[in-house]
Structure 1
Amino acid sequence: MWDLNLLASLSATLCIAFLWLRRRRQSPYYALPLPPGPKPLPILGNILQMPTRSEAQVYDKWGREHGSSLIHLNIAGTPMIVINSAETANDLLERRSLIYSGRPSTVMAFELMGWHWHLAALPYGEEFRTGRRLFHREFNPQASLRFRPLQLDVTHDLLRRLVVSPDQYSEHIIHMAGTSIISVAYGMKVKPHDDPYIAAAELANRSLVAALSPGSFYVDYLPFLRYVPEWMPGAGFKAKAREWRGHTENVLNMPYDKAKKDYLDGTSTVSFVSQCLEALSASSGDKKDIASEEHAIKAAAASMFNAGVETTASIIKSAILAMLRNPEVQAKAQKELDEVIGHGNLPDFSHENVLPYVGAVVKEVMRWGAILPLGLPHLVTEEDAYNGYRIPANSIVVSNIWAMLHDENVYPNPSAFDPERFLSSDGQLDPTVPDPALALFGFGRRICPGRYMGLASIWITIASLLAAFDIEKAVDIDGSYIEPSDECIPGIVACPVPFKASIKPRSPAALAAVSATARA
């Protein structure tokens, strides 16, 4: 005798399968092929072929082998589309941003470790739009100008630290980036050494980078593993997530709680949090709306804090690496600085438009370093087609920023560090050469909302370093140059592996200019 429950289950399953197939066949893109890519295995797809190092370069290689700006990968049943050209990224992520602005959920980082509140992780919806609105209000091009005196002070503090202990340049750069963002986001002063907020951010960033490194945790590819008990063999990732979740909560709550207390006590300085709380106190919403808005303020500030420190620090470290590898570029930039502002003087933001070669150096640092080689993934919410290929709904869409910034059709001889590629024949910045920042800061509705602040900080730091210091390769005890590595630390942010550098004041006049900033 047939089991009626079994028959009912089979019937329901067949109906669902029939409706799914019917819907697929009704799609105008049903007959189109998927973009090319490496041949997948049954069930697992391409999961065993996924690179764990130099991912951007591998994806670029696969795209070249298949002659396509798009490649398709099957990650245990989840479709993934990699975009290898800026033109294709603009066509899809900019012009079709309505359906390409989703964000895939990463089980390890966003669910188990609790990063779900991060602006970069939020799905495209009301909560995301609220965070973007807060950012735009406080960090649009005009509003960002009020933070420039602070950015200049923080840069001068970095210069003074480098005079005292240049061998600790990496720690000083992280301190500079952290100080700038904590001050802007929360209005708080940072301790000269061992600051608890910067330490909390470093721990949180380190764990997040580890969690998001490709291939690190199979739970991201096989989400059902999230239900495995922590005590079972192979479930060590759950204990790790529990430990790392504490770092996530610290970076979300610690600085915000202090900034809110200062605001309520009337001792706060102008910052993102204080301005947002001031606007919130003047609003007339109900308690639920006010609580939701305050959570958005807290999450937006922590998103800025988390995202800004490592990216800014990595770009400045890339600039130092580029200068010691390319002394002729450094000399040209210093010559321009000496001619325009005078040797022994330091630049300020008013000099940006009269230092085109320095501007070209900054652009080339961002292109050459490509510190976000794969950006942050998007999610396409509807089935789409492009250049004769079908793009399935709910595909993870990855922008290969490294490939875009190393496209020889756009940037000839891309492996060379050559700022002059951004200059026209009259020595001015050439507006026809694509600005690397356009790719580096993201696409469409997911573009980095703090980009104006970030670009200003990067420019003034690099220009000031060039004006104040000679940056050269370090030497060992035998007097031989120590060659820096070409490797980057694996992760979302491609930070150069630690390298030694000689950083010395260019002259007594340069040293005097740096020292004078302490009394300014």
Structure 2
Amino acid sequence: MPVRITRSLKLPPGPPRHCLTGNLRDIPLNSRPWETYNQWKKRFGDLVYLNIFGRSLLFVNSRRLASELFDVRGAIYSNRFRSTMACDLGGFDWSVIFMPPNETWKHHRSILQQQLGKLSMVQHQITLEKHSRNLLALLFHRPLGFLEHSRHAIGAMILESTYGLSIQAENDPHVEVAERAVQLFMDMLLPGRHLVDILPFLKYIPSWFPGTAFKQKANEMKIHIAAMRNEPFAAVKAALKAGNVSPSFVSTILEAQSASNDSFGKGKIDEELIKSVGATIYFAGIDTTELTIQFFFIAMILYPDIQKAAQEELKKVIGTNSFPTFKDRPNLPYINALCKEVLRWYPVTPLGFPHVLKQDDVVDGYFVPKGTLVMGNTLSFLRSEDIYGPDGDIFNPERFLKEGVKDPDPAFGYGRRVCPGRYLADNILFIIVASVLYAFDIKPDEKNLPNLDEFMPGFVPRAKPFGCKITPRTSAMIPVLEHLTNR
């Protein structure tokens, strides 16, 4: 039932508002916006309320409250903010990311969960292992391009798992299109970055009018989004028709449709839906996983003792005559803890994706109006002293070897909106981390060290360019890596 508004109910605390623009000037647009959010937490508490031109925003700074709102009260906190910039202007209105929790959304989610569930990952692990070996060959051959090689490997893993397609060794058009689309999309998600999301009527202003550069940016995204959604799908359909299709998420669904298989419980699945599901997997996975691997490299540079401990475990479990596989994973507790710590240390989306409140509500005695954008302060949760200890800003996998320490689940979102691709991301992270540490030493480049005091501006914490020295761990590893290179 909607909450009755009474004079005794106050809005949650927050920065004082300007009479015309509200809290517009309070939204941080610098490279470390989470620092502002944490200052608000210290000043105002577990709930921080802002209002920008009449649009309410609520920052949830307590993991307890996040669980209460997004899980227990998920029925009214699972709506999604529809970005005018991304959906109406940028052509991203087809994705489950922005869908309201209706029957169409449930249908998309059920397919994604079937195709990306924990058990479904087993059939794709050989593909991920193959591309992890290719990554090792690239790192051995040209170690200076370690981030580009990692991005290529991740793109290959996701593209082959999703569409059964192989990608070019470098400059693959599918990967480049997706990367540019993701870059533009992440820029659009930064709170307060584009005024058209606060004042949607601005979308009607002609493109020639001064101050409408946002329209050109949205049009560029629309072009890239359309190519990313249509071209890989068309390639799978052509391969299916020719009889040489490779197993993948999309080919499985297409083959089920072709056979009139009602395995998804909704009758025949239309092609637009399949396009959307495939593109969502690829779009949502490539950049976020790449950024996670970026922080893995940074951690290994800054914490050499942790790198050494991980390598010792790999040597003990795997020996010297093979590479890590998923079969080794149960015997690699330190590597698993290291992967969890990478996710905890710098989550890709420090505030998650905004949820929208479906109806008026009362939270901890405060009135929260219908339509409020509600964001979980993920980075704050994952640095919580109560859960992870007083050294939350320090990279330390051993915290996850202790009993009772919670996994970094908020890194993948909340409640009914939790990321359906989390198991794919987890598998990719594990096989890259284990493979790279097994084969190489990662050392700092003193002339180009990582700088965690300043990030690239945007919705996600992207570190500024940095370097590192990657060398084979032992002389015995050199011929093995040469063999990988010459395959």
TM-score (norm 1): 0.89
Instruction: Write the deviation string for residues 484-508 of structure 1: whole angstroms up to 9, x where unpaired.
Output: 2113322233222210110111012
Instruction: Write the deviation string for residues 241-299 of structure 1: whole angstroms up to 9, x where unpaired.
Output: 223311111111111111122122222111111101111123389xxx98863211110
Find the residue that maps to 2:348 and give its secondary structure.
coil
The aligned residue for residue 427 of structure 1 is: none
Q: Distance in 2 between matches of 1:182 and 1:284?
A: 24
Which of 429, 444, 455 is the aligned partner of 1:473? 444
What is the CA distance between 1:307 and its match in structure 2?
1.0
Contact 2:184 2:217 in 1 (8 A): no
The aligned residue for residue 421 of structure 2 is: 450
Describe the shift of the 1:173–1:29 C-alpha distance in structure 2 as closer, same or farther (beyond 3 A): farther
The aligned residue for residue 51 of structure 1 is: 28
What is the CA distance between 1:516 and its match in structure 2?
4.6
The aligned residue for residue 65 of structure 1 is: 43
The aligned residue for residue 7 of structure 1 is: none
The aligned residue for residue 384 of structure 1 is: 361
1:459 and 2:426 matched: no
Which of 70, 73, 81 is the aligned partner of 1:104? 81
Find the residue that maps to 2:338 and give its secondary structure.
helix
Describe the shift of the 1:515–1:98 C-alpha distance in structure 2 as closer, same or farther (beyond 3 A): farther
What is the CA distance between 1:421 and its match in structure 2?
1.1
Q: Distance in 2 between matches of 1:508 and 1:27?
A: 73
| Matched residue type, 2:237 | K
Describe the shift of the 1:208–1:338 C-alpha distance in structure 2 as closer, same or farther (beyond 3 A): same
Contact 1:344 1:513 in 2 (8 A): no
| Matched residue type, 2:451 | S
What is the CA distance between 1:216 and its match in structure 2?
2.6
Measured on the aligned residues, the alpha-carbon RMSD in Å equals: 2.0
Q: Distance in 1 between matches of 2:207 and 2:366?
A: 42
Find the residue that maps to 1:367 and give its secondary structure.
helix
The aligned residue for residue 474 of structure 2 is: 507
| Matched residue type, 1:56 | W
Which of 450, 453, 477 is the aligned partner of 1:484? 450
Residues 33-182 of structure 1 aligned to structure 2 (within 5 Å)? 33-53=10-30, 54-66=32-44, 68-182=45-159
Describe the shift of the 1:267–1:406 C-alpha distance in structure 2 as closer, same or farther (beyond 3 A): same
Residues 185-264 of structure 1 aligned to structure 2 (within 5 Å)? 185-264=162-241
What is the CA distance between 1:236 and its match in structure 2?
2.5
Find the residue that maps to 1:98 and give its secondary structure.
helix
Find the residue that maps to 1:133 and give its secondary structure.
helix
Contact 1:144 1:453 in 2 (8 A): yes
The aligned residue for residue 418 of structure 1 is: 396
Residues 11-26 of structure 1 aligned to structure 2 (within 5 Å)? none
Instruction: Write the deviation string for residues 72-118 of structure 1: whole angstroms up to 9, x where unpaired.
Output: 11021011111112221111101111111100111111110111112
Contact 1:134 1:297 in 2 (8 A): no
Find the residue that maps to 1:117 and give its secondary structure.
coil
What is the CA distance between 1:138 and its match in structure 2?
1.4
Which of 243, 247, 252 is the aligned partner of 1:266? 243
The aligned residue for residue 337 of structure 1 is: 314
1:409 and 2:375 matched: no
Instruction: Write the deviation string for residues 368-406 of structure 1: whole angstroms up to 9, x where unpaired.
Output: 122211111111101111211112111101111111111
Q: Distance in 2 between matches of 1:97 and 1:46?
A: 27
The aligned residue for residue 433 of structure 1 is: 405
Contact 2:132 2:431 in 1 (8 A): yes
| Matched residue type, 1:442 | G
Residues 270-289 of structure 1 aligned to structure 2 (within 5 Å)? 270-283=247-260
Q: Distance in 2 between matches of 1:188 and 1:29?
A: 59
The aligned residue for residue 347 of structure 1 is: 324
Contact 2:450 2:463 in 1 (8 A): no
| Matched residue type, 2:443 | E
Contact 2:472 2:478 in 1 (8 A): yes
For structure 1, the residue ranges without an aligned partner over 5 or more in a row are 1-22, 425-429, 477-481
Contact 2:138 2:485 in 1 (8 A): no
Q: Distance in 1 between matches of 2:382 and 2:321?
A: 35
Find the residue that maps to 1:504 and give its secondary structure.
strand
Q: Distance in 2 between matches of 1:222 and 1:268?
A: 46
**Higher mean displacement: 80-89 or 229-238:** 229-238
| Matched residue type, 2:392 | P
Find the residue that maps to 1:459 and give its secondary structure.
helix
Instruction: Write the deviation string for residues 212-238 of structure 1: whole angstroms up to 9, x where unpaired.
Output: 233332111111111111122222222
Q: Distance in 1 between matches of 2:135 and 2:120?
A: 24
Report how many residues are paired.
481
What is the CA distance between 1:324 and its match in structure 2?
0.6
| Matched residue type, 2:427 | A
| Matched residue type, 2:420 | P
Instruction: Write the deviation string for residues 140-161 of structure 1: whole angstroms up to 9, x where unpaired.
Output: 1111110000000011110110
Contact 2:82 2:98 in 1 (8 A): yes
Describe the shift of the 1:423–1:493 C-alpha distance in structure 2 as closer, same or farther (beyond 3 A): same
Contact 2:84 2:196 in 1 (8 A): yes
Aligned-pair identity in percent equals 35
Describe the shift of the 1:182–1:192 C-alpha distance in structure 2 as closer, same or farther (beyond 3 A): same
Describe the shift of the 1:29–1:279 C-alpha distance in structure 2 as closer, same or farther (beyond 3 A): farther
Work out which of the two has the higher radius of gyration on C-alpha atoms and give 1 or 2. 1
Find the residue that maps to 2:80 and give its secondary structure.
coil
Q: Distance in 2 between matches of 1:84 and 1:114?
A: 32
For structure 2, the residue ranges without an aligned partner over 5 or more in a row are none
| Matched residue type, 2:440 | F
| Matched residue type, 2:8 | A
TM-score (norm 2): 0.94
What is the CA distance between 1:29 and its match in structure 2?
6.3
Find the residue that maps to 2:307 and give its secondary structure.
helix
| Matched residue type, 2:57 | M
Q: Distance in 2 between matches of 1:91 and 1:455?
A: 26
Contact 1:57 1:403 in 2 (8 A): no
The aligned residue for residue 19 of structure 1 is: none
Q: Distance in 2 between matches of 1:411 and 1:143?
A: 31
Find the residue that maps to 1:135 and give its secondary structure.
helix
Find the residue that maps to 1:499 and give its secondary structure.
coil
